[in-house]
Amino acid sequence: MINKVVSNIEKALQGVESNMTFMVGGFGLSGIPENSIAALSKMDVFGLTCISNNAGVDDFGLGLLLQRKQIKKMISSYVGENAEFERQMLSGELEVDLIPQGSLAERSRAAGAGIPAFFTPAGYGTEVAEGKEVREYNGKPHILESALTADFAFVKAWKGDTAGNLIFKGTARNFNPLMAMAGKITVAEVEELVPAGELDPNQIHTPGIFVQRIFQGEKYEKRIEQKTTRKRD
């Protein structure tokens, strides 16, 4: 069985260049590849197109890349927690493509499944549909959406093995498994790395065939984007 473990973050990011397209997993700040993002923010790579559910916050997640103006275009579904993102978008420094959340998920999954495009009702009648083919199915108009691919996909899992098989926890499953399928090179960082054969095959969410590089991450902050508590009675 192929061993896909890389010994350090530098080897995991080998081949990363300016003007590439990256997919970055996570849901809000849950399950984001913290180690990979932090390392990318220290590299001299610019003009990036980033496909992600969110844009992080000002000093964490993709906000680190936005601070250095490494990103030229964001393709996202939720960007409401980042003041620097807002400033760059309103000033015209950052190109933004907002996508319905379900469409973003399916456009990522479709790429990994070999589906080049599909029709969906989401976004019809809004700016999302501008310039896109429309067809009617079951009496309802649908717009044509293309699959999304990336030069690199960066994902974070709870557990992984040396063959690249991954298990995600909680809301980290929302986008990480889908984006792992769509990268030409998928880099997975995991909280716990185990030998091949130790994971229960019935629990694996992403099979290793979609992963080219894997490493065990360090020092996960796991920041909470919005903490809501209930008052005691």
Q: Please work out, in degrees rounded to the nearest 5, the angle formed at the alpha carbon of residue 179 by the alpha carbons of 197 and 166.
A: 15
Side-chain half-sphere of 198: how many Cα atoms within 13 Å?
A: 12
Top CATH class of 9-114+149-216 equals alpha beta
For 139-184, write each residue's pLDDT tens digit: 999 999 999 999 999 999 999 999 999 999 999 999 999 999 999 9
Reduce the DSSP state of residue 16 to 3 states and report it: coil
For 92-145, write each residue's pLDDT tens digit: 999 999 999 999 999 999 999 999 999 999 999 999 999 999 999 999 999 999
How would you classify the pairing of strands 183-194 and 213-216?
A: parallel
CB atoms within 10 A of CB 99: 21
For 21-53, write each residue's pLDDT tens digit: 999 999 988 899 999 999 999 999 999 999 999
Residue located via tokens 């083919």: 133
For 186-210, write each residue's pLDDT tens digit: 999 999 999 999 999 999 999 999 9
- Of 186, 99, 189, which Cα lies nearest the Cα of 147? 99
% pLDDT > 90, the chain: 85
40, 71 contact by CB (below 8 A): no
- Where are the domains positioned within the chain? 9-114+149-216
- Amino acid identity for residue 208 in this structure: G
DSSP 116-159: -EEEESTTTTSGGGTT--EEEETTEEEEEEE---EEEEEEEEEE
The phi and psi torsions of 121 (rounded to 5 degrees) equal -75, -20
How would you classify the pairing of strands 140-146 and 134-137?
A: antiparallel
Task: Measure the CA–CA gap between 16 and 38, rounded to whole angstroms.
Answer: 14
Token output for 200: 């229960």
Q: How far apart are the first and last CA of the chain?
A: 56
For 51-90, write each residue's pLDDT tens digit: 999 888 888 999 999 999 999 999 999 887 788 999 999 9
Residue 185 pLDDT grade (very low, low, confident, very high; cuts 50, 70, 90): very high
